[in-house]
């Protein structure tokens, strides 16, 4: 069944490729991470999008079409990697990429063939070895850097395998195992919730000698690293996710004929963009700066991916007010980019992160599509309720880029 689906997807890609025309259109994909939410009694039956004051999104919505998107498949809760790959038009069931690879690329690490990359979270462990906080209270980046330095000084090799440790933002870091005979993917050591022990990393293919070797390396790393952290507070442990090697993925420009620029603050999203060949525009540290930099490089690119993290962060913390505030911050900065009047704008999330669930969910995320030809829905606001009424309906996120291209008039007619 998976092979049939892949064959159909390949036929569609071939058809789109033959129809593509270059016309100088400018396209912008603006991603409020984890934007989607659900209305509950405790929240006054409002979502953060509905509760937020968003005059700029409101004005844009009148000239736009709206809908909901399924990030992977009905009922599947996606990680950020699959969610973004779908937004970039890559079927996440066909192109599986480990989070470690994405994070490593985002931190500027050049991966080599055979490298296994791992995304790490510093965490808090109690005396019994149970995880009491999977993010160690979101320690500051400076603390993460100090902890990574402790580990890097003591652990440079395990046997003949080189170990590279790189700090990220807040509680996040990356490990790269560089040696012969290694391969992913392995299962996460993150148990997924508190009050459980660290899980062992296991080969996805129990018959793979390379995955077995990688799993033993992870176990050996834990034996060496945990004693070095035992006296640290609150980050006296760590969890590992996305243990994998880098797969081959066709570039964004190969697929769509678009020169793409990526403006993101967090390493993971820079890595996702780099993975598909987008040019990273580094430097901006907030959404207003990201939009200003997009304006500065506007003439050099056809496609702009702008990532905003803080909606997701607030959702994961279960903080309704913070998510509302983040949406309002995004809305206030939006006119900086709108002044350039891109031919097509899509505003959406990579998935939903409902405050009531304090985590990612399977609920379709709302999407707003603005262009001169999108068939305006004349809705007063961009919200989940409005998106339910919109002309785009509910569709798979992997089709969004093609809809954006169509609205940019980038496809010739198919057939006679």
**pLDDT tens-digit series, residues 235-283:** 999 999 999 987 778 899 999 999 999 999 988 898 889 889 899 999 9
* pLDDT band per the 50, 70, 90 thresholds, residue 11: confident
What distance in Å separates the CA atoms of residue 338 and residue 111, rounded to the nearest whole number? 37
What distance in Å separates the CA atoms of residue 60 and residue 57, rounded to the nearest whole number? 5
Closest C-alpha to 182, from 198, 146, 199, 158: 158
What distance in Å separates the CA atoms of residue 247 and residue 341, rounded to the nearest whole number? 36
With tokens 């690293």, the residue in question is 225
Which ranges in 114-206 belong to alpha helices (H)?
141-154
* pLDDT band per the 50, 70, 90 thresholds, residue 416: confident
What distance in Å separates the CA atoms of residue 40 and residue 356, rounded to the nearest whole number? 8
pLDDT of residue 7: 57
- Cβ neighbour number for residue 345 with a 10 Å cutoff: 24
Cis omega (within 30 of 0) for bond into 234 = yes
What distance in Å separates the CA atoms of residue 147 and residue 120, rounded to the nearest whole number? 12
* pLDDT band per the 50, 70, 90 thresholds, residue 138: very high
Q: What percent of the chain has pLDDT over 70?
A: 98
Check whether 372 has a pLDDT greater than 50. Answer: yes
Closest C-alpha to 327, from 312, 342, 305: 312
Average pLDDT estimate for 159-175? 95
Helix (H, G, I), strand (E, B) or coil at 66: strand
**DSSP letter at 300?**
G
What distance in Å separates the CA atoms of residue 18 and residue 235, rounded to the nearest whole number? 53
Check whether 1 has a pLDDT greater than 50. Answer: no
pLDDT of residue 6: 56
Q: How far is CA 156 from the centre of its chain?
A: 30
Helix (H, G, I), strand (E, B) or coil at 399: helix
With tokens 């510093």, the residue in question is 122
Average pLDDT estimate for 190-205? 95
Mean of per-residue pLDDT scores for the chain: 93
β-strand partners of 116:
177
* pLDDT band per the 50, 70, 90 thresholds, residue 359: very high
Phi-psi region of 268 (alpha: psi -120 to 50; beta: other; left: phi over 0): alpha
Per-residue pLDDT of 32-62, as tens digits, reads 999 999 999 988 999 999 999 999 999 999 9
47-51: list long-range contacts, CB under 8 Å, 24+ apart: 47/383, 47/384, 47/385, 48/311, 48/314, 48/315, 48/320, 48/323, 48/324, 48/327, 48/355, 49/327, 49/366, 49/382, 49/383, 49/384, 50/381, 50/383, 50/384, 50/385, 51/320, 51/324
What distance in Å separates the CA atoms of residue 282 and residue 3, rounded to the nearest whole number? 39
Structure tokens at 206: 């129990």
pLDDT: which is higher, 55 or 375: 55
Check whether 121 has a pLDDT greater than 90. Answer: yes
235, exposed or middle or buried, with CB in 10 Å at 0-12, 13-18, 19+? Answer: buried
Element (H, E) at 292: helix 287-296
* pLDDT band per the 50, 70, 90 thresholds, residue 12: confident
Domains of the chain listed by start with CATH number:
23-94+250-407 (3.40.720.10), 102-244 (no CATH)
Q: What angle do CA 349, 353, 359 make, to 5 degrees?
A: 145
Task: Report the half-sphere exposure of 200 (CA within 13 A, side-chain side).
Answer: 10
Per-residue pLDDT of 302-347, as tens digits, reads 999 999 999 999 999 999 999 999 999 999 999 999 999 999 999 9
Average pLDDT estimate for 366-383? 95
Per-residue pLDDT of 203-227, as tens digits, reads 999 999 999 999 999 999 999 999 9
Of 50-59, 91-100, 327-336, 380-389, which range is least confident? 91-100
What distance in Å separates the CA atoms of residue 369 and residue 345, rounded to the nearest whole number? 6
Q: Look at strands 365-370 and 64-70 and give their pairing.
A: antiparallel
Element (H, E) at 213: helix 209-229
Check whether 95 has a pLDDT greater than 90. Answer: no
């Amino acid at each position: 069944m998976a092979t049939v689906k892949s064959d159909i997807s390949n036929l569609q890609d071939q058809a789109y490729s033959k129809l593509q025309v270059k016309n100088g259109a400018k396209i912008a994909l603006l991603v409020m991470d984890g934007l989607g939410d659900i209305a509950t009694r405790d929240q006054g039956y409002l979502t953060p999008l509905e509760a937020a004051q968003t005059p700029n999104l409101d004005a844009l919505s009148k000239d736009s079409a709206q809908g909901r998107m399924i990030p992977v498949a009905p009922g599947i809760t996606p990680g950020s990697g699959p969610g973004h790959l779908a937004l970039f038009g890559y079927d996440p069931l066909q192109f599986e990429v480990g989070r470690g690879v994405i994070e490593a690329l985002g931190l500027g690490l050049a991966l080599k063939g055979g490298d296994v990359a791992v995304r790490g979270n510093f965490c808090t462990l109690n005396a019994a070895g149970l995880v009491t906080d999977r993010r160690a209270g979101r320690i500051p980046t400076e603390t993460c850097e100090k902890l990574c330095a402790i580990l890097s000084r003591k652990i440079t090799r395990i046997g003949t395998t080189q170990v590279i440790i790189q700090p990220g933002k807040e509680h996040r870091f990356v490990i790269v195992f560089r040696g012969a005979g290694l391969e992913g993917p392995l299962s996460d050591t993150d148990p997924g919730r508190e009050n459980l022990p660290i899980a062992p990393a296991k080969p996805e293919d129990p018959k793979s000698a390379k995955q077995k070797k990688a799993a033993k390396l992870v176990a050996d790393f834990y034996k060496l690293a945990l004693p070095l952290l035992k006296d640290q507070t609150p980050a006296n442990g760590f969890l590992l996710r996305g243990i994998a090697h880098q797969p081959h993925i066709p570039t964004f420009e190969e697929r769509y004929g678009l020169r793409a620029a990526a403006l993101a603050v967090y390493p993971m999203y820079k890595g996702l963009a780099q993975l598909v060949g987008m040019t990273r525009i580094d430097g901006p540290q907030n959404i207003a700066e990201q939009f200003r930099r997009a304006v500065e490089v506007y003439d050099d690119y056809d496609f702009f991916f702008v990532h905003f993290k803080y909606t997701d962060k607030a959702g994961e913390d279960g903080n309704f007010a913070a998510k509302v505030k983040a949406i309002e911050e995004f809305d206030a900065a939006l006119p900086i980019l709108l002044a350039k009047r891109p031919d097509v704008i899509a505003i959406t999330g990579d998935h939903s992160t409902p405050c009531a669930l304090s985590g990612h969910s399977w609920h379709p995320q709302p999407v707003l599509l603005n262009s001169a030809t999108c068939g305006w829905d004349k809705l007063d606001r961009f919200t989940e309720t409005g998106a339910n009424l919109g002309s785009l309906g509910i569709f798979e996120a992997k089709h969004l880029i093609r809809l954006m291209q169509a609205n940019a008039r980038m496809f010739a007619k198919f057939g006679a």
